[in-house]
Chain A
Amino acid sequence: MEIIQILAIALIAAVILTLLKKEKPEIAIQISLAVGIVIFLFMLGKITLVIESVQQIALKANISPTYLNIILKIIGITYLASLGIEMCRDAEQNAIASKIEFAAKIIIISLAIPIVMAVMDMILKIMP
C-alpha cells in the first residue's frame, strides 16, 4: 500500500522535474532531493522494524552487539553517501560525487578495523 503512495509521489515529481529541468535546473535538483528525503522518511517505520528484528536474531545467536552496531553504522554511512553521490551526479558534478565516494570508503574502512583485528586474533588463536 505504501508502494502506491511512493510511486504516486515519484511519478508526479518526475513530471514536474522535466518541466523545471530545462528552465530552472537549480530548483529541479532541490525537488528531486526533497522527494528522495520524503521517501526515506516515509520508510522509517519499516527500517526500524527490520533493524530491531536483526538485533533480536543477533541476541539469540549471542553475537556481541558491538559488531552489529558497527555494521549498522556502515549501512547508515553507505545510505547517506549514496544519497549524496546520486544527487551530485544528477547535478552533473561528477568530481564532487567521486570525492564523497572516496570519503565514504575511508570512513567505512576505519570503522571496520576493529572487526578485522578481532578476526586476526581469532585466527592466531586457532593456529598451532
Chain B
Amino acid sequence: MDIGLIFKIAGIGILILILDKLFKDVKQENIATLVTLAGLVVIFMMVIGLISRLFDSVKVIFQL
C-alpha cells in the first residue's frame, strides 16, 4: 500500500510540474502559482499522514 503512496505523490508532483509550465506558457502566472500551492498542500497532507504513522510505530517499538 505504501509503495503506491509514493508513486501517487510522485505522480502529483509531475502533474503539477506540467500544469505549472502549461499555465506559464499561457501567460497566466497567478493560476500557475495557485496550482503549485494546491498540489503542494495535497502532497503535504499525504506526507503528514506518513509521518504520523512513523511516529506512532517508533513510539510503540522503542517505548519512547
**Chain A residues close to B by CB (< 8 Å):** 5, 9, 12-13, 16, 19-20, 23-24, 26-28, 30-31, 33-35, 37-38, 40-42, 44, 47-48, 51, 69, 72-73, 75-77, 79-80
Interface of A is mostly: helix
Q: From residue A57, how far is it (CB to closest CB) to chain B in Å?
A: 17
Residue of B nearest to A15 (CB): B10
- Tell me whether A27 and B61 are in contact (CB under 8 A): no
Q: From residue B27, how far is it (CB to closest CB) to chain A in Å?
A: 19
- Which of chain A's residues have a CB closer than 8 A to the CB of B51? 33, 37
The complex places the Cα of A48 from the Cα of B57 at a distance, in Å, of 10
Query: In residues 8-64 of chain B, which contact A (Cβ within 8 Å)?
Result: 9-10, 13-14, 16-17, 20, 36, 39-40, 43-44, 46-47, 50-51, 53-54, 57-58, 61-64
- Which of chain A's residues have a CB closer than 8 A to the CB of B7? 12
- Which of chain B's residues have a CB closer than 8 A to the CB of A28? 13
The complex places the Cα of A114 from the Cα of B36 at a distance, in Å, of 50
- Tell me whether A26 and B6 are in contact (CB under 8 A): no
Q: 8 closest pairs, A vs B, by CB?
A: A76-B62, A27-B13, A38-B2, A16-B10, A37-B50, A37-B54, A30-B47, A76-B64
Total B residues in contact with A, Cβ cutoff 8 Å:
29
- List 8 interface pairs A-B (beta carbons < 8 Å), by A numbering: A23-B17, A23-B20, A24-B17, A27-B13, A30-B47, A38-B5, A42-B2, A73-B62
- Tell me whether B3 and A16 are in contact (CB under 8 A): no
The complex places the Cα of A11 from the Cα of B8 at a distance, in Å, of 16
The complex places the Cα of A79 from the Cα of B51 at a distance, in Å, of 14
Beyond A27-B13, A38-B50, 6 extra complex contacts between A and B, CB < 8 Å: A27-B43, A28-B13, A38-B5, A44-B61, A73-B63, A76-B58
